[in-house]
Amino acid sequence: MEKILEVNHLNKHYPVKKGLILQKEIGQVRAVNEVSFDLFRGETLGIIGESGCGKSTLIRMLIGLEKPTSGQIRFLGQPIENGMSASLRKQMQMVFQDPYSSLDPRMSVQRILEEPLRIHCKMSKQQKEQVILPLLGQVGLPREALKKYPHEFSGGQRQRIGIARALVLEPTLLLCDEPVSALDVSIQAQILNLFRDLQRQHELTLLFVSHDMSVIRYISDRVMVMYLGQIMEIATKKELFERPLHPYTQALMRAVPVPDPERRDQCAVLEGEIPSPIHAPKGCPFSTRCPYASEICRQQRPQMHRTGEGHLTACHRYSGEVEG
């Protein structure tokens, strides 16, 4: 399968400074730490983790809103860690978390959707309409929506506008940063179904970030689990949900609410606080919350081990270093 995106040893570290004048550096926040993965054409890779796990920083580096501290990103075979050409930029678009703040309230829907075409393509008004009108129908909005402004729509409808804007340039890759988390649960399912339909119609590849395991389970082909800026586990959806191996993935799965009242005891809350990224553990990032943690876990960062077909797990238990 063709690799759309190749990420190798990607890091984003922010210096932590103290003092008003001298601004002495007293440490670093490793928001993204040695992250490597591939994304294949036509698939949906779901990225799951608690807030502060680095998933949004990762997306911001991919789209070029943040510069990596080190590491390589290749998109459609081209290195992009230092920026993208305009033609490559068109191929990667983003759907944002908040449909309320991501649309300019002073612009009509028509202007919002025409804006990317105005910037990237030379098109007549009629040509622009030929692109926009079918797209409006595909995201489930009527033609009359074009003359309206964002405040005249519900949250779900605004997200439909945001999705249409992202698709105007016919991108190859859509980066979706928590695109349903600001919506009511009843609307979330509609928008997730819309992503699936559009993916098929437009042959899209999706990188889909969420903190909600049920959303990730619904939308993903493969799943990457992140914690404190690092990948803990990556596997196909089937493999991950049938055979979660990393203790953090297992804890996330147990924390998903069970609708059956007789099985309430199976819904366990993940214990302990996520450590401050300024004082991240030296060895395994999950060692302060892991029931299997031993001395080596506290001292040595685990590498990714192959634990099945297309299944990688960063845990000393699978290198034979820890009993359990």
Q: Which residues bind ligand SF4 (CB under 6 A)?
A: 247, 284, 286-287, 290, 292-293, 297, 302, 315-317, 322
Nearer to ligand SF4 by C-beta: 54 or 302? 302
Nearer to ligand SF4 by C-beta: 175 or 284? 284
Min. distance of Cβ 318 from ligand SF4 in angstroms? Answer: 8
Q: Tokens for 102, please give them.
A: 């991501």
Min. distance of Cβ 283 from ligand SF4 in angstroms? Answer: 7
Q: Do 318 and 307 touch, CB atoms closer than 8 A?
A: yes
Nearer to ligand SF4 by C-beta: 109 or 293? 293
Eight-state DSSP code of residue 65: S
Residues in the chain, total: 324
Min. distance of Cβ 256 from ligand SF4 in angstroms? Answer: 19
Nearer to ligand SF4 by C-beta: 118 or 243? 243
| Distance from C-alpha of 122 to C-alpha of 127, rounded to nearest angstrom | 9
| Distance from C-alpha of 288 to C-alpha of 24, rounded to nearest angstrom | 28
Nearer to ligand SF4 by C-beta: 130 or 299? 299
Q: Do 171 and 204 touch, CB atoms closer than 8 A?
A: yes
Nearer to ligand SF4 by C-beta: 43 or 233? 233
Min. distance of Cβ 290 from ligand SF4 in angstroms? Answer: 3
Min. distance of Cβ 307 from ligand SF4 in angstroms? Answer: 12
| Distance from C-alpha of 103 to C-alpha of 174, rounded to nearest angstrom | 17
Closest CA to 192 of 57, 50, 55, 46: 46
Eight-state DSSP code of residue 250: H
Min. distance of Cβ 139 from ligand SF4 in angstroms? Answer: 41
Farthest-apart Cα atoms in the chain, separation: 67
Nearer to ligand SF4 by C-beta: 156 or 244? 244
Eight-state DSSP code of residue 209: E
- Those residues whose C-beta lies under 8 Å from the C-beta of residue 96, and which sit 6 or more positions away, are 102, 162, 177, 179
Min. distance of Cβ 314 from ligand SF4 in angstroms? Answer: 7
Enclosing H/E stretch for 79 = strand 78-79
| Distance from C-alpha of 64 to C-alpha of 99, rounded to nearest angstrom | 21
| Distance from C-alpha of 6 to C-alpha of 37, rounded to nearest angstrom | 6
Q: Tokens for 130, please give them.
A: 């030929």
Nearer to ligand SF4 by C-beta: 180 or 322? 322
Min. distance of Cβ 279 from ligand SF4 in angstroms? Answer: 16
